[in-house]
Amino acid sequence: MKEVYTVDDLASRELLDAGCDKPARLAVIGCPIAHSASPRMHQAALDAYGIDCRYIRLEVPAGMVEHSFARMRALDFIGANVTVPHKFDALACCDVLDPLAQALGAVNTVRFGGNETTGFNTDGPGFVAAVENAFGVKLADLKVLIVGAGGGAGQAIATQCVLTGVRHLVLANRTVEKIAVLGQRLRSLVDGTRIDLVGLGDARLVELSHECDLIVNTSSLGLQPDDPCILPESCLQARHLVYDTIYKPAVTPLMALATAKGCRTSNGLSMLLRQGAMAFQHWFPNTDPLGSFSQQHSFTKKGLRDYVERSCANTQQFVPSD
Active site residues: 87
How many CB atoms lie under 10 A from the CB of residue 288? 14
Buried b (16+ CB within 10 A) or exposed e, 27-48: bbbbeebebbbbbbbbbbbbeb
Nearest Cα residue to 317 out of 176, 152, 178, 162: 152
How many residues can be counted in the chain?
322
110, 222 contact by CB (below 8 A): no
Enumerate residues 6+ apart whose C-beta is below 8 A from 245.
127, 153, 157, 216, 217, 218, 267, 268, 271, 317, 319
First to last CA, the chain: 35
Nearest Cα residue to 37 out of 68, 83, 87, 79: 83
C-alpha span between 140 and 142 (Å, rounded): 6
Q: Which 8-state DSSP code applies to residue 165? A: T
